[in-house]
Amino acid sequence: DAKTTQPPSMDCAEGRAANLPCNHSTISGNEYVYWYRQIHSQGPQYIIHGLKNNETNEMASLIITEDRKSSTLILPHATLRDTAVYYCIVRVENAGNMLTFGGGTRLMVKP
C-alpha cells in the first residue's frame, strides 16, 4: 500500500465544514482512497472511499484531485460527535482487505 501524509491535528467549529487533507503522491492507478475514523475508545469506522471521481454519502464527501495525488474529506456540518482521529488509506481493492493505518488526523470539533 502507498503511504499517506496527513496533518496530525485540526480544529473545527461546530456546524462548520471540516476539510481534512491527505497527500498520497505515490498512489498507483489501481489504488483506492479510503477514509476511516476512530472515535475515542471505539474501533475504526468506515466513512467513504473512491478511485478518481468525487464521492458523497450520508456521512461525508470525498474530493480527489485530478492527478490523484491528494484528496480531501469533507464533513459538511461538523458536530461534537465527529471529534475523532481520521485515517486516510490508499490500497488496492481486494488486496487481502488488510488496512494499513498511519497516524491520522485528530479532529477536534469545538462548540
Smallest distance from the beta carbon of 15 to other proteins, in angstroms?
Answer: 27
Would you give the binding string for other proteins spanning residues 27-56, x where CB under 8 A is met? -----x-x-------xxxxx-xx-------
Cross-strand bridge partners of residue 71: 22, 64
Residues 2, 100 contacting (CB under 8 angstroms): no
Per-residue x/- mask for other proteins, residues 54 to 83, rule CB under 8 A?
Answer: ------------------------------
**Residue 94 CA from chain centroid, whole number:** 19
The dihedral through the CA atoms of 43, 46, 51, 53 has a sign that is negative
Q: Which stretch binds other proteins (CB under 8 A): 11-19, 22-30, 61-69, 97-105?
A: 97-105
Residue type, 79: T
Cβ nearer to other proteins, comparing 34 with 70: 34
Q: Compute the distance between CA of residue 33 and CA of residue 15 in angstroms, rounded to an integer.
A: 26
Nearest CB to other proteins, comparing residues 15 and 101: 101
Residues sharing a CB contact under 8 Å with residue 96, sequence separation 6 or more, in sequence order: none
Q: Which residues bind other proteins (CB under 8 A)?
A: 32, 34, 42-46, 48-49, 87, 89, 91, 93-94, 96-104
